[in-house]
Structure 1
Amino acid sequence: MENILDVRNLNVTFDTYGGVVHAVRGVNFSIKKGETLAIVGESGSGKSVTTKAIMGLVAKPSGKISEGEILFDGKDLAKLSDKQMQKIRGKDISMIFQDPMTSLNPTMKVGKQVMEGILLHQKVSKQEAKERAIELLDLVGIPNPEARMNQYPHQFSGGMRQRVVIAIALACNPKVLIADEPTTALDVTIQAQILELMKEIQQKMDMSIIFITHDLGVVANVADRVAVMYAGKVVEMGDVDDIFYNPQHPYTWGLLGSMPTVENESEKLVAIPGTPPDLLHPPKGDAFAARNDYAMQIDFEEQPPMFKVSDSHYAATWLLHEDAPKVDPPTVIKKRMEKFSKGGDRV
């Protein structure tokens, strides 16, 4: 199956008073039709900036795509003007943001906000747009959608507001949906409902989803493939089973070790020591070296390439070099890998 979206050697920089911040550094990934790719990592790893670059939403003039290609539907989105991107944004590629209250206009009725994109991108009458908006609100599980079309965002609960935002994102049947931590502001019960809703809609519409999160528990439930980002780079990429059953990068080990599990509440969580590097001055070698208990001299001198683990699994760590010493994951990670491989829940 062909890739619907191809990101190649993407670099995004921001000019600041302190200098140039290299927020995204040589990112590569692709996504196929109907597939869900999760991008995970700590805050500041470059997840949101990467997807905002795809949407053409990098803050200008300070921010820019300094290098790379974003190939979609025969076009390089990195080379399109703002006016050209307006025809794609919301129609072919849509985005759900983290906080629905900052995405919705508090002074505009919900129905009008759902209709806005339909009227902009599709040649339909106002009545047809209204009927489509009612259908969408019903699709995302809002009861009595016809009456609620005339209500304002403050009259909806947090979970219902997020459903409205999803309805807006789906208004023009996009080929790719980008979800930027869409459940972070919601409680656990509502979070599960929203994730289930997104999976159902994806199957109905055969849509590709890029799901940004720092929560590996969410990843386990929604993703087909996972890209682990650190300091503006993808450090590990694989199928969801590769990442949970056979992680290779020490940073991925750290993320898995810091994830609480339901089965063993007494199990100690492992914190990743230190802090991410300053991307005003990116490190010469592996950006994770200073926080890595397994770092070798070469980690401080040279960035590792992406080593192939399997046809679906790649990791950028010198530990995979043929001359590197054999290193096993920490005990807590090995226990979790064994639990996962025996069919235990990942969350």
Structure 2
Amino acid sequence: MEKILEVKDLHISFHTFGGEVQAIRGVDFDLKKGETLAIVGESGSGKSVTTKSIMRLLPESNSEIKKGQILFNGKDLAKLNDKQMQKIRGKDISMIFQDPMTSLNPTMIVGKQIMEPIVKHQNMSKSQAKERAIELLRLVGIPKPELRFKQYPHQFSGGMRQRVVIAIALACNPKVLIADEPTTALDVTIQAQILELMKDLQKKIDTSIIFITHDLGVVANVADRVAVMYGGKIIEIGTVDEIFYNPQHPYTWGLISSMPSLDSQDQELYAIPGTPPNLLNPPKGDAFAARNEYAMQIDLEEQPPMFKVSDTHYAATWLLHPDAPKVEPPAAVKLRQRKFPEIKEGN
């Protein structure tokens, strides 16, 4: 399958009063045409910083791409200036942000806000852009789009505002759509509707999606592949089935064990002990070692490489080294593996 986006050895730092925060420390991944890649991890793991760097939306005053490439259509986005990025941002790569109310201008009717990128990037007249905006409102499931076109954001519910934000993001049929926790501010029922809408729209406009979330339940419904981030690095990546039913990294085990399920109704939910590392002074070895009950001496001294589990599945843990002791995953992970043994055997 054709790769539409490649991120190679990306390092990003923030310069603060306390010193240099090494927020992203060698991130590698690619995005294939028409697929959905979910990036998961705790707050502070580097998910949003990684994707905002693709859009070049990080503050220039204190952020710096120290190393690496962000390749899109043969261009390295990391080397483009703001004027060059303006031709790509909104047209070829769009973003849906977490809170729709802060993404929309409260003083403008929503129709004009949808028209803006169409007029700028599609060379349409205002009348054509208006027709396209109404069509997009209809596409994202907003009833009476001609009437809604003339209304302000405060006249929409939270779910409807998020649909408007999606309409703006899709206005120019982008090749890549970045969704930064787009359902976090919504209740569960509306969340399900928005996720279903995004899956349906992806098929219609053939776009590739990077979906950022901390909710593994959301991942299971939308993703083709999953990248797990921790301490500014991707520590495991694979297909959604491989990550859910045959995870290899202890951090991924912890995330899955902390998910509530129908089988664990009488059990106390697992919580990963400790806190994420301080990236002002990143640890010498594996960033997860201090919280990892399976950590070995080498975890404290040396960062693990990405070990190959299958052609599509890689994990950065010393437990996959041939000389490492055999460790059984937690009960919640083993339960999933017993339900779907063919995924483990397929590896």
TM-score normalized by the length of structure 2 = 0.97
| Match of residue 179 from structure 2 | 179
Structure 2 unmatched ranges of 5 or more: none
* 2:256–2:332 Cα contact (<8 Å) kept: no
Residues of 2 paired with 1:144 and 1:261: CA distance?
39
What letter is aligned with 2:126? K
* 2:245–2:333 Cα contact (<8 Å) kept: no
Q: Does 1:296 align with 2:296?
A: yes
| Match of residue 29 from structure 1 | 29
What letter is aligned with 2:111? G
| Match of residue 286 from structure 1 | 286
* CA deviation string 1:287-314 (max 9, x = no partner): 0000000000000000000000010000
What letter is aligned with 2:129? A
Residues of 2 paired with 1:223 and 1:78: CA distance?
26
Query: What does 1:7-156 correspond to in 2, within 5 Å?
Result: 7-156=7-156
The CA deviation at 1:8 is 0.3
Residues of 1 paired with 2:190 and 2:60: CA distance?
35
Sequence identity (%): 76
The CA deviation at 1:252 is 0.1
Moved more, 143-152 or 332-341: 332-341
Q: Does 1:269 align with 2:284?
A: no
What letter is aligned with 1:82? D
The CA deviation at 1:60 is 1.1
| Match of residue 159 from structure 1 | 159
Residues of 2 paired with 1:341 and 1:269: CA distance?
24
What letter is aligned with 2:181? E
The CA deviation at 1:340 is 4.9
Moved runs in structure 1, 4+ residues, more than 4 A? 340-343
Residues of 2 paired with 1:310 and 1:340: CA distance?
17
* 1:21–1:279 Cα contact (<8 Å) kept: yes
Residues of 2 paired with 1:74 and 1:305: CA distance?
27
Secondary structure of 1:6's counterpart equals strand
The CA deviation at 1:342 is 8.7
The CA deviation at 1:66 is 0.9
* CA deviation string 1:40-96 (max 9, x = no partner): 000000000000000010111201211100000110000000110010000000000
Secondary structure of 2:241's counterpart equals helix
Moved more, 266-275 or 9-18: 266-275
* 1:34–1:207 Cα contact (<8 Å) kept: yes
Q: CA RMSD in A?
A: 1.1
* 1:289–1:299 Cα contact (<8 Å) kept: yes
* 1:244–1:340 Cα contact (<8 Å) kept: no
Residues of 1 paired with 2:14 and 2:342: CA distance?
46
Secondary structure of 1:196's counterpart equals helix
Secondary structure of 1:88's counterpart equals coil
Residues of 1 paired with 2:198 and 2:229: CA distance?
23
Residues of 1 paired with 2:262 and 2:181: CA distance?
22
Residues of 1 paired with 2:266 and 2:204: CA distance?
40
* CA deviation string 1:300-345 (max 9, x = no partner): 00000000001000000000001100001012221133235599xx
TM-score normalized by the length of structure 1 = 0.97
Secondary structure of 2:87's counterpart equals helix
Structure 1 unmatched ranges of 5 or more: none
